[in-house]
C-alpha cells in the first residue's frame, strides 16, 4: 500500500513544490532569497537539530544518516507561517503555506540512499520607497528548488559517511515601478532570472555507548561553495498609473542580458549529543556559513553588507515508554528545542538575526513504526531600528513518516 501512496503523492506534489511562494519576508529581497530550512518537521521541533538519526526516520540534513535505515521510509512535510511585520510607525500581518519536503529512503545493508525534492530559497516581498518627487514600488517572487540524491556507507558499526548530490533550479522575478511627480507616465522594470547549478554536501556520523545506558552521538556536515548560473531577461515598460493604482502598460522592450554566475557560500556544521536509546536525547550544534563570500554582480544592495553567519541550536526528545501497549501517549515522542541564527545580512549597520523556540510531538500510526509529527515554533527576526522591519512569527509544521518492507525474501509464494 505504501508504494501506491508514495508514487501518487510524488506525482501530485511535484508541480506544486516548484510553483509555491514560500515567504513574505522583506529580507528575501537580498541575494537569491531567504534560505529555507533543510530538514524534517522532527528536526524543526528540536530547534532544527540534525544530530540524531535512527532506523525509522529520515534525516535529510546529514547524508551519512541514510546508512542507519532498516525500513523503506517515505516522508513529506509542510508548514504554515503567520507573521506580524512591524517598523517604528506601522505594522501588518502576512502568512504563507508551503510544502517543505518530499523524500524517500531505501536501506541496502551497509549502504543507504535518500532522494527527494525541497525548496532551497524563496523570494516574496513588496516594498515601497517614497521621496518628495518619486514613488518606487518593488516586488519579488520565486526562488530555487533542490532535487537531491544521497548515499551513505557504514564504514564500521558505529561510523557512517555520506554524500548527497543536488541539482538546483528555479527562477526569480523582480519588478520595480517608478513614478515621478509631474510626469504622466512611469517606468516598470521587470527582470527574470533562471537559476541552475549543482552542489554537494558531505556528512559523517559517529555513535558509541559510553555506559550501559548512555550513547554519545557526534556528527558533521560540510557544503563547499557553489556557483549558480543565472540566465536573465529584462523587460522595460512605460506605464500609466491610474488614480486607483491600476498599472496600464503603454509600450515595452525586452532584451536578453548576459548570463552571470552567482557564488553561494560554503557551510560547516558540527554537533554532539547524549541520550539513552529509545528513551531520550539532548544535543547541540553549531553552523558557520561564509556568507561574506556571497557574490552577485547584478544587484546593487546599497547599505547592505554580507558577513559570515553563525547558528546555534539546542534540542532533544523524550519517549515515556516506547514498548507500552496500554497507554498510547507513552509511545509518543515529545520534542523541544531553541535556536539562535545570524542571517549574514547587515543592513544600515544593524545585524539581521533570528531566534525561535519550538516544540512538537510524534504520534505513532499503523504498523512498522510509522508516525505523524506535529510541531510549533515561536520566534522573531530583524529589528525596528533605523527604519527596518521586525518579524514576529508563529510556525506550524506537520509531517507524515511512513515505513514499509519492500525487499523481503519470500519462502512460500
What tens digit of pLDDT does each residue of 56-69 get?
899 999 999 999 99
In this prediction, residue 6 carries a pLDDT of 46
Higher-scoring residue by pLDDT: 201, 259: 201
What pLDDT shows up at residue 12? 42
| The predicted structure's pLDDT at residue 63 | 96
Predicted confidence at residue 179, as pLDDT, reads 80
pLDDT for the residue 297? 65
What percentage of the chain has pLDDT greater than the value 90? 56
What is the extent of the structural domain holding 92? 2-365+378-403
Question: According to the model, what pLDDT value does residue 10 have?
Answer: 45
- Torsion angle of C-alpha atoms 270, 271, 277, 281, degrees rounded to 10: -150
Q: What is the pLDDT of residue 19?
A: 45
Tens digits of residue pLDDT in 342-381: 999 998 889 999 999 999 999 999 777 899 999 999 999 9
Cell of 240: 500609466
Is 110 a domain residue?
Answer: yes
The C-alpha cell at 339 is: 535556536
Distance, in Å, from the CA atom of 238 to the CA atom of 257, rounded to the nearest integer, reads: 19
Q: How far apart are the first and last CA of the chain?
A: 19
The answer on pLDDT for 411 being more than 70 is no
Residue 108: inside a domain: yes
CB–CB of 26/317 below 8 Å?
no
Query: 396 versus 349: which is more confidently predicted?
Result: 396
- The answer to which of 91-105, 257-271, 287-301 has the lowest mean pLDDT is 287-301
CATH label of the domain that carries residue 109: 2.40.160.60
Q: Within 188-256, where are the H helices?
A: none
Total domain count, the chain: 1
At 2-28, the pLDDT tens digits run 444 444 444 444 444 444 567 888 888
Alpha-carbon distance of 19 to 22, in angstroms, equals 9
pLDDT of 410 strictly over 80: no
pTM exceeding 0.85: yes
182-194: average pLDDT? 81
pLDDT of residue 302: 60
Is 181 exposed, middle or buried (CB count within 10 Å of its CB: 0-12, 13-18, 19+)? exposed
Q: Would you say residue 252 has pLDDT above 60?
A: yes
Share of the chain above pLDDT 70, in %: 90
Q: Is residue 54 part of a domain?
A: yes
Rounded CA separation 29/24 (Å):
10
**Per-residue confidence (pLDDT) for residue 398, from 0 to 100:** 94
| Residue 410 is assigned to a structural domain of this protein | no
Residue 373 lies in a domain: no
Within a domain: 409: no
**Placement of cell 528545542 in the chain:** 337
Q: What's the average model confidence in pLDDT over 270-288?
A: 96
Per the prediction, the chain carries an average pLDDT of 87
Q: Would you state the cell numbers that stand for residue 52, as one nine-digit string?
A: 540524531
Q: Is residue 205 part of a domain?
A: yes
What pLDDT does 245 receive?
Answer: 66
Residues ≥6 apart with Cβ < 8 Å to 247: 177, 186, 188, 239, 240, 241
pLDDT at 320 over 90: yes
191-229 b/e (C-beta count within 10 Å ≥ 16 → b)? bbbebebebebbbbbbbeeeeeeebbbbbbbebeebebe
Q: Is 161 part of a structural domain of the chain?
A: yes
- Tens of pLDDT, residues 114-162: 999 999 999 988 887 777 778 888 888 999 999 999 999 999 999 999 9
Residue with cell 530538514: 39
Q: Which long-range contacts (CB under 8 A, 24 or more apart) does 246-253 make?
A: 247/177, 247/186, 247/188, 249/188, 250/185
Whether the per-residue pLDDT at 290 is higher than 80: the answer is yes
What local confidence, expressed as pLDDT, does residue 243 receive?
Answer: 66
Q: Is residue 299 very low, low, confident or very high in pLDDT (cuts 50, 70, 90)?
A: low
Amino acid at each position: 500500500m505504501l508504494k501506491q501512496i508514495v508514487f501518487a503523492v510524488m506525482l501530485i506534489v511535484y508541480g506544486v513544490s516548484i510553483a509555491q511562494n514560500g515567504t513574505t519576508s522583506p529580507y528575501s529581497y537580498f541575494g537569491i532569497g531567504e534560505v529555507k530550512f533543510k530538514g524534517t518537521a522532527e528536526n524543526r521541533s528540536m530547534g532544527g537539530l540534525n544530530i540524531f538519526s535512527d532506523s525509522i526516520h529520515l534525516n535529510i540534513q546529514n547524508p551519512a544518516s541514510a546508512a542507519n535505515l532498516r525500513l523503506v521510509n517515505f516522508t513529506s512535510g509542510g508548514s504554515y507561517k503567520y507573521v506580524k511585520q512591524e517598523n517604528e510607525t506601522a505594522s501588518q500581518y502576512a502568512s504563507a503555506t508551503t510544502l517543505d519536503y518530499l523524500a524517500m529512503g531505501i536501506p541496502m545493508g551497509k549502504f543507504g540512499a535518500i532522494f527527494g525534492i525541497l525548496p532551497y530559497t524563496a523570494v516574496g516581498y513588496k516594498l515601497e520607497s517614497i521621496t518628495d518627487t518619486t514613488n518606487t514600488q518593488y516586488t519579488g517572487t520565486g526562488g530555487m528548488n533542490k532535487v537531491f540524491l544521497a548515499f551513505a556507507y557504514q564504514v564500521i558499526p558505529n561510523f557512517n559517511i555520506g554524500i548527497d548530490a543536488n541539482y538546483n533550479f528555479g527562477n526569480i522575478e523582480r519588478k520595480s515601478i517608478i513614478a515621478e511627480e509631474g510626469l504622466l507616465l512611469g517606468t516598470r522594470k521587470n527582470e527574470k532570472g533562471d537559476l541552475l547549478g549543482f552542489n554537494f554536501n558531505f556528512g559523517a556520523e559517529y555513535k558509541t555507548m559510553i555506559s550501559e545506558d548512555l550513547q554519545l552521538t557526534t556528527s558533521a556536515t560540510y557544503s563547499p561553495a557553489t556557483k549558480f548560473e543565472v540566465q536573465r531577461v529584462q523587460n522595460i515598460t512605460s506605464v500609466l498609473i491610474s488614480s486607483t493604482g491600476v498599472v496600464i502598460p503603454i509600450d515595452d522592450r525586452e532584451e536578453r542580458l548576459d548570463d552571470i554566475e552567482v557564488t553561494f557560500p560554503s557551510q560547516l556544521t558540527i554537533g554532539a549529543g547524549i541520550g539513552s536509546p529509545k528513551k531520550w536525547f539532548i544535543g547541540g550544534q553549531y553552523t558557520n556559513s561564509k556568507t561574506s563570500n556571497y557574490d552577485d554582480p547584478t544587484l546593487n544592495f546599497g547599505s547592505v553588507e554580507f558577513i559570515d553567519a553563525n547558528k546555534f541550536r539546542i534540542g532533544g526528545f523524550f519517549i515515556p515508554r516506547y514498548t507500552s501497549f496500554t497507554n498510547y501517549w507513552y509511545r509518543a515522542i515529545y520534542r523541544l528545542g531553541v535556536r539562535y541564527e545570524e542571517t549574514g545580512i547587515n543592513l544600515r549597520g544593524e545585524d539581521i538575526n533570528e531566534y525561535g523556540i519550538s516544540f512538537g510531538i510524534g504520534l505513532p500510526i499503523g504498523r512498522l513504526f510509522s508516525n505523524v509529527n506535529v510541531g510549533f515554533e515561536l520566534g522573531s527576526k530583524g529589528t525596528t531600528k533605523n527604519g527596518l522591519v521586525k518579524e514576529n512569527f508563529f510556525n506550524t509544521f506537520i509531517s507524515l513518516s511512513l515505513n514499509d518492507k519492500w525487499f523481503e525474501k519470500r519462502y512460500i509464494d
